[in-house]
Structure 1
């Protein structure tokens, strides 16, 4: 085929990608939300279109009109009204909007899987006639011409709307500052709803155009649409013409690559490149662009905390709040030992999936980095383990099964370290897209390659010549989960844990006071990849096979959403979430767990922090009610008045500076310098809501319920006095907003 004919063929897929990019940009420019649910919405509308045209027997044109003029904008308006408007009204961060859009995607995929199944549908009718028009001796498809016309009309209309109309000015005002726009009588809700309606309509059009070209299935079509994010990244989330040009250019280049052939071992890789150029371009662009021009709040990942800014200090009071989660997780893990053999085999999936979820807790819940590529790490752990067990790893001898699982997980660490480097300069939406692109590239270029992942067999595991039975293997899984829990606990506790939480809640503030943000991020990604690799290896042994479908990129989105729903910083919540998903998949039709997680994810607008936060809130409320009835009111904390400079003692008999806000016994213990006394003082301080910071001579004030760290570099004085003067305050204390019953910011000694 001539080069011009290939370019014309590439215009078809490029035009569809450009159309999807326009929808994404319109939604983003009117609402500040990059709609990660674009693929799910496109898939749902394509299924409904096929249902009307094939099953109901409606004319194709009528099915398309109903799908695009009624269903698509209706979905957009509902999403804006029920999901994103509550988030906008409470000025939710971009991280929360990101999770909400993922929840919508999971919900739509669950609906498609639950109604139509996971099988591929190949009989979707084309909305445009399968004809071509001769232009200059070359044939151009009617569908390509029609799509290009739609793109041209959309771009011109949107350009005129933004620059020449009152609605365009209102649109820009809403994006810049929604509350200020509302004070200026701008109908912000209507502007946002219009943006969502337009964006979902173009998403539906994208799905209807793609369905006849690719197999219509919940996961495959959604992934194809997600890969078109390369178009909006090339446009830097700003320019419609740039998005159109990028879509057409990538489509043409992808088509042109088919005229070349490569022989030898790289033949499969080259063919994969030719059919997956969009995701490769997405990854390259994201690595070349440090950060996208995100609108509004780039999103502190502190919103992923399920504790409302009050982290677990290790006290008895805090440990009691997690008692229900711990008991629930313990019971869920041990109960399968009493199951019948067939049911026990289903339970094999729980510890393996829990380890994968724990890896997300490490990188997202504890360090605040959004990782949407965990399925890639899990799949690599499974691949390496099976290769090692079969002697297929070049340069490494055959290893016994259990040792192969451990070594395979460790071999994922360098990959996690390398892929963690983008996190050093990126955050929020940009980092989420980078990690998703990495997972997609690994899936397409490793897991789906017969030369790399083909003919893998899962052999039985042995210990000392004895083959492991079902219960023995389950015990091994529990031991592996125990190792993961131990790693998570050690990472979360102590000085390192406090440093990670500081990076999560306020990266700039943590760096300003000397925290090694760079290495902490790399450590989180590396440990997360190892834990995910261990979980992936156990998952492959649980299923007795290696399947690329198990570790496809869409799974990363589903798993990430599930972890956030059950508490992104809750290790026990990860176990409960894994048990929840496996139980629903076993007892309900296929896709039910996806639907359930999607429904729960939509509730995050009303339950920030997920189910773990809700459970802690209930426990806290019950404890407070019981305390009011059976426990005498506690006496006020002595020394609170000492926070005022006039009340601070002076002279030889003055209390040591670190005694401010503590009981006299604690102050004397600190002054005496005894190890036991200082330890007791620290416990009392923790019980009062105070915690040592990992930053040495630095005071961090926590503002409000969000717990945003505000660094006050040492020396911090209450009245500007020199060292040792009255008014010196404890530089090791972090004062939480909830400690004194109000949203007071204690900084420099003043309230």
Structure 2
């Protein structure tokens, strides 16, 4: 049944989604970078708008000119000049992590400046009132304005990119910037593209904030879910993106008229409120590939500088075990409040180690670890409530997450396109999986309502529970050691460095990917179960998909191929959050991720390089140590000839 009145309401939602999708596509078409930080830019601009109007008392028009005319384009110009221009030779992996760093950095700023508070009084930029249509229908003025803006932006971009000299120059810059720089102002074109894309992000955030309440994580995720529209357009067609956004917006409101049996109403409501994330997930499942300029597995790009050879010892074995043991037991001597905060460290470290397995060792980027961790916590709590002994439930819950990881890995290599589903495409797939789990599982009372999480007798004391967490962390590190050594470690290294070369060497890429995702999902599930048990509650915000992006950026900063770095990074993240105000950790992680393109390998690689430099005897040239016996003989004859 089609209801015209509901369809008109859906146009308003579709228009804002279309603006967001057009902004993503415009940035990608002009710069060649898929801007995952788009949602964070939108949220930051929405908060600035709220600050100008609600706190400083500016008129809405003046605030709109300031935010959309100065702040939003200024963010794009600053990012292009300070972040993306220096990284234009970093490859797809460096640029992808840089966009994640920008996202985390801006969310950190939001938390630092506004405390992450949610607001329901975001100012509306659009006029009130409506137009009367035949059949007693009313079309709001706001919807008319949004439709005109979307149509104008899409039409202008289509004409400029396809039928003008400027569009030809833009395509030349995206295809080969160094070559095009000799003929066209490449830097200016890229700066204009980033400024325009940030303007559209700010516009989408300002328009969407009054519809959805102003919240850092929720609004960011809402904007990011519109990536499904860009995916449907294969990152190439602006008209398809606009049409798809409008159709999804109309479909979302039409679902409000569906009233099935009461037992199914909750499911229909979930579809109604989360149609965009469903489209994102379904599009990634169906489309075999996108119009993505992808450089391959991201893990290799992140760790290439300072990387270890596949046959080198496991990083865990290189760690001064005495120092690690001493640091790990120190919280047992903390006061009760500090010990309670320290309970989060081993649990988060297990989740971080799962990222090392998936991305650092196998090169398969995963932005969905928050979803796996939340499922592990949920399954553990359900099993314990059902009468399963708690210690058994602690490990059985994560085992039930393994099939979810297996499914993700199987999807990434489905239909024989393993060489193509990697990098950005794989990142979007794993993020969409986490978003679907968050919206359809963690946000549904039928699954989490009335859920109780407890610790069994013997582990109610924080000291004993912390000891159990350390034991679980040791088990996770032992698994990492097993995966990093021997033939399996060499196969994972080949998969990380080059999937094509791994296939040529006889590695079963499909089976290896599925195995890696299953292991990583199980480890993340264990970390999530420990997190919920430490807090003695299941909190869906702890497993928000945007939180998973922060975790990935943190692991990348500390060294995505270092299990030790993952443990230290988890401890540092918890310590900064506990010892400072909210937002500082996001700023530090964001800055580190942005700089990762200039200093590949993260902090772990920097420490290894520093250790190698310190181990070099003073005054002894490194080059002489690397000469073979024949080379030394030649060098001796050359010196003798010069002295003679």
Question: Which of 384, 389, 392 is equivalent to 1:400?
Answer: 389
CA distance in 2 between counterparts of 1:80 and 1:37 reads 13
User: Which residue is equivalent to 2:24?
Assistant: 24
Deviation digits for residues 25-53 of structure 1, max 9, x if unmatched?
A: 11101111110001100000000011111
Structure-1 separation of matches of 2:209 and 2:133: 27
- Determine the structure 1 residue equivalent to 2:448: 453
Distance 1:200 1:225, change over 3 A: same
Report the alpha carbon displacement of residue 594 of structure 1 after superposing the two structures with TM.
Answer: 1.8
Corresponding position of 2:279: 281
Q: CA deviation at 1:118?
A: 2.2
Please list the CA deviations of residues 466-516 of structure 1 after superposition, one character each: whole Å capped at 9, or x if unmatched: 454221111100000000000011001111001101001000011012111
Contact 2:454 2:537 (C-alpha < 8 Å) held by counterparts: no
Report if aligned partners of 1:312, 1:319 keep a CA contact under 8 Å in 2.
no
The 3 A distance-change label for structure 1 pair 626 and 266 is: farther
Distance 1:616 1:21 in 2: 42
Counterpart secondary structure, 1:134: strand
Match of 2:575 in 1: 583
Hey, what does 2:596 align to over in structure 1? Answer: 604
**How many residues matched?**
625
Deviations 1:61-94 (A, max 9, x none): 1101111111111100110111111111xx2221
Matched-pair contact (CA < 8 Å) for 2:131–2:140: yes
Uncovered stretches (5+) of structure 2, i.e. residues with no partner: 633-644
Say which of 574, 587, 592 aligns to 1:595: 587
Q: State how far apart, in whole Å, the 2-side matches of 1:343 and 1:32 are.
A: 46
Residue in structure 2 matched with residue 379 of structure 1 by the alignment: 374
CA contact (8 A) 1:106 1:594 kept: yes
Tell me which moved more, 413-422 or 108-117: 413-422
Aligned to 2:527: 535
How far off is 1:165 after superposition?
A: 2.8
Contact 1:381 1:408 in 2 (8 A): yes
Distance 2:348 2:609 in 1: 27
TM-score between the two structures when normalised by the length of structure 1:
0.80
* Aligned-partner SS, 1:186: coil
Q: For residue 92 of structure 2, what is the aligned residue in structure 1?
A: 94
Corresponding residue of 2:173 = 174
Deviation at 1:635, TM superposition (A): 7.5
Report the counterpart of residue 239 of structure 1 in structure 2: 237
Report the Cα distance in structure 1 between the residues aligned to 2:45 and 2:557, rounded to whole angstroms. 26
1:327 & 1:313 partners in 2: Cα distance?
25
Match of 1:291 among 289, 292, 317: 289
Deviation at 1:636, TM superposition (A): 3.9
Query: Which residue is equivalent to 2:198?
Result: 200
Look at both structures and tell me which one has the larger radius of gyration over its CA atoms. Answer: 1
3-state SS, counterpart of residue 138 of structure 2: strand
- Structure number with greater CO (CA < 8 Å, separation at least 6) is 2
Partner of 1:420: 409
Give the 3-state SS of the residue equivalent to 2:403 in structure 1. Answer: helix
Does structure 1 retain, via aligned residues, the 8 Å contact 2:225–2:277? Answer: yes
Q: Distance in 2 between matches of 1:583 and 1:606?
A: 26
Given that 1:306 and 1:569 are in contact with CA atoms closer than 8 Å, whether structure 2 keeps it comes out as no
Report the TM-score when normalising by structure 2: 0.93
Selected match of 2:384 from 373, 379, 389: 389
Structure 1 residue 330, shift from structure 2 partner: 3.9
Q: Following TM superposition, by how much is the alpha carbon of 1:104 offset from its aligned partner in structure 2, in angstroms?
A: 0.4
**Structure-2 residue corresponding to 1:621:** 613
Tell me the distance in 2 between the aligned counterparts of 1:422 and 1:490: 26
* Partner secondary structure for residue 454 of structure 2: coil
Q: 1:252 to 1:639 in 2, by over 3 A?
A: farther
| Superposition deviation, residue 95 in structure 1 | 1.6
Deviates further, 347-356 or 258-267: 258-267
Select the structure that is richer in helix.
2
How far the C-alpha of 1:402 sits from its partner, in A, is: 1.3
CA RMSD of aligned residues (A): 2.1
Alpha-carbon offset, residue 205 of structure 1: 0.2
Cα shift readout 1:376-426 (whole Å, capped 9, x = no counterpart): 1101110111111111xxxxxx22211110111111111111121122231
Which residue number in structure 1 is paired with residue 504 of structure 2? Answer: 512
